[in-house]
Structure 1
Amino acid sequence: MLEWKSWTETARFHSPLRNGALDEQVIEVRRDPLTGHQSIYNAALEGKTTILFPPTDAAYLEERIAASRETCFLCDGKWQTMTPTYPENLLPGGRIVRGDVVLFPNLFPLSAYHGVVMVGERHHRHLNDFPEDLLADALGVAVDFVRACFEKTPDIRYFTINANYLFPAGASVIHPHLQILGSVEPGTHHGLLLDASRAYFERTGRCYWDDLVKAEQQAGERHIAEVGRSHWLASFSPMGVNEILAVFSGLPSFLQWTDEDTQSAARGLHSVLAGYHTLGFSTFNFSCYSGPLGENDGSFACVFRIVNRQNVAPHYRTDDYYFQKLLKNEIMIMRPESLAHHMRRHFL
């Protein structure tokens, strides 16, 4: 059985906000059942979200969009001459083009394979304006790239599909895009997920991700929707703000994804982004983790994590500091159960 470990701690101090009276604030700590990651929620922050996450400055965002569009190497077909190409024996033509979506190599790769996917011709989109079919094309191209890489170099087995949207989320360009990383070894968190999943399987004889989906469906509080073979959940102990977790049941790696699975992933992502938009957020990161290609020991299923980052505003403060970067904990600005309730209306 999964252990939903949580506890409370009480902080006491005399507060100037209460004319020096004693203040008591209850802090809820949650521990992820698989990895042990801790997330912290303080109800006193309710209604004070704008202190940690100031709202998007629409005028400033429009200014940055206009200023960057002229020099954007993806806009107006400039990608045809300003992006690199892969060798013909990997990708005929050097790129993958599907409708308004284009995949090409990163000029400054961080792994043996580091593909970039231009997600449409438009330079900027609000989070409620990412069409499902556009996302399906982008994810489908990413999966096709993974298959081509594995066919060429089967020793490179560890792949993730990722996104940074807008500069507070780490994007160096505003234009919507994805990034695919493929390496001979998994990244730090990717490896932790695989190792912990394998240990759980060896201990119980069951796949953790199947047990997680079943437990969340039965509890109901954090299960948002089932879309095809994917289940969309609000994470019990999130790794980032407003984290949504998707589990692709029965799909141990990207090699097993069908067109229907990429469409399901796109539909879920479209719904989550729309939900973020109504919460007032303008940025996000996501990573989708695959099990090792060509291997299936029954312990893993593809997992998708999506989180918000700081909104676009002049002189924004980062939401990633010692607490997240070095202590590997996270602050919850919404309880996951409340986040799930909000997101369900966007999956209708």
Structure 2
Amino acid sequence: MLQWTSWTEIARFHSPLREGQLDEQVIEVRRDPLTGHQSIYNPALEGKASILFPPTDMAYLEERIAQSRDACFLCDGRWRTRTPAYPEDLVPGGRLVRGEVVLFPNLFPLSAYHAVVMVGERHHRHLNQFGEKLLTDALAVALDFVRACAEKTPEVRHFTINANYLFPAGASVVHPHLQILGSTQPGTHHRLLLDASRSYRERTGRCYWDDLVEAERDGKDRHIGRIGRIHWIAAYSPMGVNEILAVIPAVPTFLAWTEEDVQAMACGLAHVLDGYHSLGYSTFNFSCYSGPLGEKDGSFASVLRIVNRQNVTPHYRTDDYYFQKLLKNEIMIMRPESLAEHMRRHFP
């Protein structure tokens, strides 16, 4: 039932890289089966990814880590006095603490609920240093917070769990952290996913996410693996560089996650981050989407998107310009099928 839409276009010009000879470059365009989002792949960029994504400058990164550590409000227990706290009737004690993980309110919230999760005591971690236990604790406190909010204010039904890692990915602090948003209405892309999923259900009588997992698992070369109930897939038409999807079929909201789901998601995330690290990337964003809390219309599943952002260099260029920001397209640096092949080597 899914339509894997793609087409090619040919660009012709006389290239100085070929001593003025006529060059023809075949451009592949892909359209996402659910949202219609378009991604573009030009094989001529193979081997030239460093032009668009220069490698991480490790000396500069270490310099920034050292410069920011002493002033970090999360390091050395400073979070105990320098972070806000929730009212006792929402979060007893004002903050949620589990191991090295701490959840507290964002000082400058962007929705009715906007929490921050400190992910561990270390000021910086390379992408291969996010352990499964640490990520399990971080996701667990995020879900505990969602449950507390749902009990306190059932009208706030739309939640996402999100991450910016390092400043090229939009983080204002180096220290690893997550952010949870909860609102009465979904955000723009969240709404698009929900509306398109409902439309697919009404049109076909099936859940799009079940069909996606089934189709990708049955030989599309983008299915990476399964951990517990979670399927990991290289996105057919990615929204960002090296996008990986995690889908939990038949688990429509965060309230339906089990302890095993939390551990499986943490395990998969650790593997993906390890795979990104081996490709030489140092940053990422992710968003994990829940269906509206309390809704069980059979159209949605819990879904996570994770992408790379520009690497840390002294003068990094943004990877989000008119093509992405205003035209809502994306450039594929690596074909999803090749990305999936790479990631399989980092999954059990």
TM class by smaller structure: over 0.9
Per-residue CA deviation, residues 15-53 of structure 1 (Å, 9 max, x unaligned), is 000000000000000000000000000000000000000
Partner of residue 243, structure 1: 243
Using the TM superposition, give the Cα deviation of residue 220 of structure 1 relative to its aligned residue in structure 2, in angstroms: 4.0
Per the normalisation by structure 1, the TM-score is 1.00
**Is contact 1:310-1:318 (8 Å) kept?**
yes
Residue identity over aligned pairs, in percent, reads 79
The 5 A counterparts of 1:61-80 are 61-80=61-80
* Secondary structure at 2:212 match in 1: helix
Partner of residue 135, structure 1: 135
Residue 31 (1) aligns with residue 48 (2): no
Partner of residue 111, structure 2: 111
Partner of residue 294, structure 1: 294
Task: Give the ranges of 4+ consecutive aligned residues of structure 1 lying more than 6 Å apart after TM superposition.
Answer: none
Using the TM superposition, give the Cα deviation of residue 335 of structure 1 relative to its aligned residue in structure 2, in angstroms: 0.4
Residue 210 (1) aligns with residue 227 (2): no
Partner of residue 267, structure 1: 267
Partner of residue 51, structure 1: 51
* Secondary structure at 2:143 match in 1: helix
User: Structure 1 residues 220, 6: closer, same or farther in 2, change over 3 A?
Assistant: closer
When the two chains are superposed, the root-mean-square deviation of aligned CA atoms in Å is 0.4
**Is contact 1:229-1:250 (8 Å) kept?**
no
Using the TM superposition, give the Cα deviation of residue 288 of structure 1 relative to its aligned residue in structure 2, in angstroms: 0.2
What is the distance in 1 between the residues matched to 2:62 and 2:336? 32
Partner of residue 226, structure 1: 226
* Secondary structure at 2:218 match in 1: helix
What is the distance in 1 between the residues matched to 2:311 and 2:335? 20
Q: Which amino acid aligns with 1:222?
A: R
What is the distance in 1 between the residues matched to 2:168 and 2:259? 32
Using the TM superposition, give the Cα deviation of residue 249 of structure 1 relative to its aligned residue in structure 2, in angstroms: 1.2
Using the TM superposition, give the Cα deviation of residue 251 of structure 1 relative to its aligned residue in structure 2, in angstroms: 0.7
Partner of residue 306, structure 1: 306
What is the distance in 2 between the residues matched to 1:300 and 1:191? 12
Q: Which amino acid aligns with 1:330?
A: E
* Secondary structure at 1:337 match in 2: helix
What is the distance in 2 between the residues matched to 1:259 and 1:327? 40
- Matched residues, number: 348
What is the distance in 1 between the residues matched to 2:267 and 2:251? 17
> Which structure 1 segments of 5+ residues have no match?
none
Per the normalisation by structure 2, the TM-score is 1.00
**Is contact 1:27-1:43 (8 Å) kept?**
yes
Partner of residue 145, structure 1: 145
What is the distance in 2 between the residues matched to 1:14 and 1:298? 53
Residue 154 (1) aligns with residue 154 (2): yes
Per-residue CA deviation, residues 261-320 of structure 1 (Å, 9 max, x unaligned), is 010000010000000000000000000000000111000001000000000000110000
What is the distance in 1 between the residues matched to 2:3 and 2:249? 21
